[in-house]
Structure 1
Amino acid sequence: MYAAQAGAPEGVTMLWMESTRVGSAARTHMDGSRARLDAAGIPVRAQIFSETSGGGIVGKVRRLLSLVLRARRAAHAGVLVTRWHPFLAFVTPRWFRKGGRVMLLVQGNDASAYETNPWLRRIPGIRRLMTKSLEGASSILCVNGGLVEWVEAERASAAPVPIAVMPSGVSDVFFDASPIDLGEPYVLFFGGLAPWQGIDYMLEARRSAAWPEGLKLLVIGDGEKAQAVRDAEGPGVSWLGPKPPAELARYVAGALVTLCPKSATDSMAKTTTPFKVLESVAAGVPVIATDIPAQVDMLSEGYGLLVDVNEPQDLARAVARIAAEPAVRAELAATARAYAPKCRWTYAAPQLAGAIRALQEDIERR
């Protein structure tokens, strides 16, 4: 899809090369980035993206090539705001030749790209494309410090550019959502049911004798591990499938606690910033997360509990503590509510605007 805004020749161009189907992380990030630009008063000249995701490897490559061609045709002496993707290596040189600059937003590393899109490994030279897409940036904003370290290592031989951390945000629907009333307390996992999300770990914790008797685990989402959740369904586990954001927010707001049991994979350990953690915080709900380094950093804010990534019973014990000690939950929830304003996309709008305006000034000087 190509959406142009007339009368804004000085505006930035937005490019998202991952599928931005509704409900995906890429779509959430695209919409949030647009909200930041709107809040900062930076006009958007055009948005280039695609909501399709099927068609197998051939269909995906065709979709990407179409986006590359659109982005190359749109190149001008302005700023391209884009989410990192290996195929950017075919786009950014064109923007520089036209006198433009590239504002790169990095939300994941090479391992996350392979985990999410295993077919990328079949493309010859893909590793070099990943590096070149980073080297082609004029300024880079990463979602956390682990990604800054990765980007700096990947760009070690390239000319230095500004690289900084810019926190992620979440949809406004999670703030002040009306809690759904199911008539009984429940623990909630929500999001993609991918192998690295710790689904088997979580289900093993639910089967543990340490899990509070009668406390139900609700699972919202879909993906590769959905069958494992279906197989576990019964009095203690309910799978509700995917939900639209506004309805999901009500389930989050009504939860006793939410779970983020991510595995310690190469893509998760130091570089993940789960939307589900920030969405829970936005709703004022505590989080229990596995103690991989990136989540340790996030929960240092005090809005949740950390558990051993290799010990499912530790998760069960943490759930039991939340259920048995209302004062603990109340303290964590109060911390979440106090931190919640920082989870709005507009919170970091001034930082994004400053980085873009610096590039616009650089264009004008030349």
Structure 2
Amino acid sequence: MSRPLRLAYLSLETPRPGQASQTHIDEIIASLREHGWRVELFATRGGGASTRSSFVRRLMGYARTQAALGKRLRDFDAVFIRSHFMALPLSLWARWRNLPVVHEINGTPADVGVTYRFLKPFSPVFSWLYRAQYRRAALLLAVTPGLVDWARRFAGHHRVSLVSNGANSDLFKPEGAPSPIEGRYVIFVGGLVAWHGVGTMLAALKEPSWPADLRLVIVGDGIERDKVEQALTDPRLVWLGRQPYDAVPALLRGALAALCVIENQDGRSGSGVAPLKLFEAMACGVPVIASDLPFQADLVRNADAGVLVPPAAASAIASAVKSLSSAPDKAQLLGRNGAAYVAREASWHQRGREIDRLLRSAISQ
């Protein structure tokens, strides 16, 4: 009987409860373990934009985490990296030891300059760091077709496959505990970062077309928390901060709709977006109000699971909220369509099968 394959998972983005990055990491590891892999996570333990820690502290964390994994590379059959510009040392180290390295790509190097504006002048450096890793990779996994095309051009090879995000269909489903929040509300679940449209959804709440009896519930934290704190003078705004992963489904189930109003700042979303929040809301049977961006819009349109709005359009968000509020039967139908789509095509069980097949193929080459 052959031994289980062993995978080292490297994340230089500190996993934190309530953040999409931790959800993504946990779900991929769990799904691969279902397929017989032995997976060990190597992740930084401190820092990150939401904690406002110093860059020096983060650099030290990057070095310690990669050194810990580097010393144990002989214990693994492959290395899976959640794409990060500072992972180049480990990428080269693993390549030198002839270990296949797989990078999971959720965005382009432009994301760094969007999140940290003061780093934007250094974009060419970040691009070089990413390209140096991607060119040497055994396999690149991208979450949208647009990112697949971009990665092939950027890396200069075709060892790129599409594996999108998904939802934990055992946890996120229409049936389950009711919401602890009473009354009618629309919900946003996610990081409070620039491209998630935090300012735009807060502006939508002030639009005349936003129903007066409908609240906006925000679940999450991040570098744009100041905008939310300043808007709390509006009694219709409820900010819950980060919530435990298993508490989110009930909050979603009670909502009239879920906001996925990602914006295209500096072109960072032009290659498509596939946010976890979209799949999880759909899995709970909640209609989504989503910005009209590649992949996300195609998915919502094809599944008939929500309403599309132009990016960064507060009035359009408010109008969509009003439309769903005044047509509850339609809202319920859109929600059922979304839940059926996720159960059929986008659970983490299905994503795990895809990643398992691709990893085994990369190792065998």
141-150 vs 15-24, which moves further: 15-24
Alignment of structure 1 residues 165-176 onto 2, 5 Å: 165-171=162-168, 172-175=170-173, 176=175
What is aligned with 2:331?
329
Letter of the 2:113 counterpart: Y
Report if the CA contact (8 A) 1:85-1:133 is conserved: no
Report if the CA contact (8 A) 1:13-1:47 is conserved: yes
**Aligned mates of 1:149, 1:35 — CA distance in 2:** 28
**Aligned mates of 2:194, 2:56 — CA distance in 1:** 24
5+ unaligned residues in a row in structure 1: which ranges? 1-6
Residue 257 of structure 1 deviates from its aligned partner by: 0.6
**Aligned mates of 2:45, 2:56 — CA distance in 1:** 16
280-289 vs 339-348, which moves further: 339-348
- CA deviations over 1:78-107 (Å, ceiling 9, x no partner): 211221112222122222222211122111
**Aligned mates of 1:127, 1:181 — CA distance in 2:** 45
TM-score by length of 1: 0.89
**Secondary structure at the counterpart of residue 91 of structure 1:** helix
Report if the CA contact (8 A) 2:187-2:217 is conserved: yes
Structure 2 vs 1, CA of residues 17 and 258 (structure 1 numbering), >3 Å: closer, same or farther? same
Q: Does 1:211 find its partner at 2:214?
A: no
Residue 138 of structure 1 deviates from its aligned partner by: 0.3
**Aligned mates of 2:111, 2:259 — CA distance in 1:** 21
Report if the CA contact (8 A) 2:110-2:123 is conserved: no
What is aligned with 1:27?
22
Structure 2 vs 1, CA of residues 81 and 224 (structure 1 numbering), >3 Å: closer, same or farther? closer
Alignment of structure 1 residues 219-258 onto 2, 5 Å: 219-233=218-232, 234-258=234-258
227-236 vs 14-23, which moves further: 227-236
Q: Does 1:93 find its partner at 2:92?
A: yes
5+ unaligned residues in a row in structure 2: which ranges? none
**Secondary structure at the counterpart of residue 217 of structure 1:** strand
Letter of the 1:275 counterpart: L
What is aligned with 1:105?
104
**Aligned mates of 1:216, 1:142 — CA distance in 2:** 35
Residue 360 of structure 1 deviates from its aligned partner by: 2.3
Letter of the 2:166 counterpart: G
**Aligned mates of 2:125, 2:326 — CA distance in 1:** 54
Q: CA RMSD in A?
A: 2.3
- Count, aligned residues: 352
Report if the CA contact (8 A) 2:115-2:194 is conserved: no
In structure 1, which of residues 342, 347, 350 is the aligned counterpart of residue 353 of structure 2? 350
What is aligned with 1:4?
none
Alignment of structure 1 residues 189-208 onto 2, 5 Å: 189-208=188-207
**Aligned mates of 2:180, 2:15 — CA distance in 1:** 32
Report if the CA contact (8 A) 2:279-2:346 is conserved: yes
Report if the CA contact (8 A) 2:146-2:271 is conserved: yes
**Aligned-residue identity in percent:** 26
What is aligned with 1:3?
none
Q: Does 1:18 find its partner at 2:17?
A: no
Q: Does 1:361 find its partner at 2:355?
A: no
**Aligned mates of 1:323, 1:152 — CA distance in 2:** 43
Q: Does 1:164 find its partner at 2:167?
A: no
